[in-house]
């Protein structure tokens, strides 16, 4: 979450000035730090000639090592907090599992396809890039949005793993359907074909989910054996907690430094791409949050469902667009604009989610959100 689980309680009671003052500067000004990281990245990409080329060359198997490093640092502390012995309770929740699969792999790609054609009918390259973004379901950064919003950590781990499996199997098939087959059926013109192998998608999943998940699992096992669960959560987790946000800020700086010149040199194109993305994130998050509440999920799982539905795997989307259409293509620009819009929007939605959590809490006897973990848990 942030520097310590106790800050969760403080964040949820943001109206109490005395509690807010106890938060670290990193916690208290999170939105500002993220916006500053975006500005620094864009500035570096614009001001330092050749920086994007240097960063782009530091990769293995098409995966950017600086971005991979940032994401691993970001995800490890959160996944070390997951109580893995509670995953059975998540997998047994059929409402959550079925809803997640339907929203992520049926609704999400369809919504992005529709918005891309509605907002960009005259810009086929950008339209194709947006559709690719919609197909790449989030398996990394959603972990931290969920944790900041006090979502269910165990549910997030399960849903992200589920998305990963479906991503390997379904990404190429859905790409063929939405970019080649469906446009022909609807009389929208010639389709596009994606040049991406299941092996590359699987490598993306292993690096951005498998490595930090294994590290988090082994850390908790070893920590609980040595210190006990209470000692591990009271002593060790607060020490590694801040690194999640350090990793997030580092990732944002690197990502925007890579594409700073491209973004700042084509502002009108960025604006055209940004509009359907804004609508997409709003529709997916608010719609899924409403769905979770309608089917009777507790706040923590409702928030997890909403953030896993709204987030996207920007690294995979950008990699696919570049590999298939080239680094200077409009499709690649759409992939780059994805996180430019997603990061501030989902940060804002974290605050919306926390405000709604108070409503869930107020509606329950004793002041606890139904099914939610207690502060510090």
Domain residue ranges in the chain: 58-252+266-358
Long-range contact list for 230-233, CB < 8 A, 24+ apart? 233/5, 233/81
Alpha-carbon gap, residue 28 to 352, rounded angstroms: 16
Q: Is 364 helix (H, G, I), strand (E, B) or coil?
A: coil
pLDDT of residue 89: 81
Report the half-sphere exposure of 344 (CA within 13 A, side-chain side): 14
Say whether 102 sits in a helix, a strand or coil.
helix
The third-level CATH classification (topology) of the domain covering 58-252+266-358 is Na+/H+ antiporter like fold (1.20.1530)
Buried b (16+ CB within 10 A) or exposed e, 290-303: ebbbeeebbbbbbb
Whole-number pLDDT of residue 64: 72
Instruction: Quickly list H helices, 103-208.
Output: 108-119, 124-135, 142-148, 153-176, 182-185, 198-205
pLDDT of residue 222: 94
pTM for the complete prediction?
0.79
The closest of 314, 264, 123 to 115, measured between CA atoms, is 123
Residue 331: its pLDDT value, please? 84
143-165 in b/e form (b: 16+ CB < 10 A) is: bbbbbbbbbbbbbbbbbbbbbbe
Return the closest-CA partner of residue 306 out of 282, 283, 289, 294. Answer: 289
Amino acid 291: pLDDT: 96
Encode the chain (377 residues) as per-residue pLDDT tens digits. 444 444 444 444 444 444 445 455 666 677 788 888 888 988 888 888 777 677 767 776 666 788 788 888 888 888 888 888 888 888 889 999 999 999 999 999 999 999 999 999 989 899 999 999 999 888 778 888 898 899 999 999 999 888 888 888 888 888 889 988 888 888 887 666 666 666 777 777 777 778 888 998 999 999 999 999 999 989 998 898 888 888 888 888 887 787 777 777 788 888 999 999 999 999 999 999 999 999 999 999 999 999 999 988 887 787 788 777 776 678 888 888 888 888 889 989 998 998 888 777 655 554 444 444 433 33
Instruction: Give me the pLDDT at residue 32, please.
Output: 82
pLDDT at residue 295, rounded to an integer: 93
Per-residue pLDDT at 308: 94
Q: 14 Cβ partners below 8 Å, 6+ apart?
A: 20, 354
Asked whether 146 and 304 are in contact (CB, 8 A), the reply is yes
Q: What is the DSSP letter of 374?
A: P
Query: What is the reported pLDDT for 24?
Result: 58
237 vs 79, 178, 222, 223, 342, CA distance in Å? 11, 43, 13, 10, 28
């Amino acid at each position: 979450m942030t520097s310590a689980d106790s800050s969760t309680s403080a964040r949820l009671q943001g109206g109490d000035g005395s509690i807010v003052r106890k938060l670290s500067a990193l916690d208290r000004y999170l939105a500002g730090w993220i916006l500053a990281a975006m500005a620094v990245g864009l500035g570096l990409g614009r001001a330092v000639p050749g920086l994007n080329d240097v960063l782009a060359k530091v990769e293995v198997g098409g995966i950017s090592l600086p971005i991979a490093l940032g994401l691993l640092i970001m995800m490890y502390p959160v996944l070390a907090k997951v109580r893995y012995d509670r995953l059975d309770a998540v997998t047994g929740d059929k409402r959550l599992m079925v809803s997640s699969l339907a929203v992520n792999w049926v609704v999400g790609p369809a919504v992005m396809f529709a918005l891309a054609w509605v907002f960009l009918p005259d810009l086929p390259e950008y339209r194709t890039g947006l559709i690719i973004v919609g197909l790449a379901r989030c398996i990394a950064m959603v972990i931290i949005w969920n944790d900041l919003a006090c979502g269910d950590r165990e549910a997030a781990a399960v849903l992200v793993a589920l998305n990963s499996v479906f991503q390997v199997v379904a990404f190429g098939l859905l790409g063929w359907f939405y970019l080649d087959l469906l446009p022909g059926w609807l009389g929208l013109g010639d389709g596009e074909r994606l040049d991406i192998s299941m092996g590359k998608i699987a490598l993306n999943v292993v690096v951005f989910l498998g490595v930090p998940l294994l590290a988090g699992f082994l850390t908790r096992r070893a920590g609980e054996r040595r210190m006990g669960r209470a000692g591990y959560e009271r002593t060790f987790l607060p020490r590694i907690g801040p690194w999640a946000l350090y990793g997030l800020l580092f990732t944002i700086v690197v990502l925007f430094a890579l594409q700073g010149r491209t973004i700042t040199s084509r502002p009108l194109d960025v604006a055209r791409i940004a509009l359907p993305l804004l609508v997409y994130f709003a529709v997916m998050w608010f719609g899924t949050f409403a769905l979770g509440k309608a089917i009777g999920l507790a706040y923590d799982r409702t928030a997890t469902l909403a953030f896993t539905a709204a987030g996207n795997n920007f690294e995979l989307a950008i990699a696919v667009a570049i590999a298939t259409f080239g680094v200077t293509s409009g499709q690649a620009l759409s992939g780059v604009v994805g996180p430019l819009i997603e990061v501030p929007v989902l940060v804002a939605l974290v605050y919306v989610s926390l405000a709604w959590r108070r409503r869930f809490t107020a509606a329950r006897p004793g002041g606890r959100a139904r099914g939610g973990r207690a502060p510090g848990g």
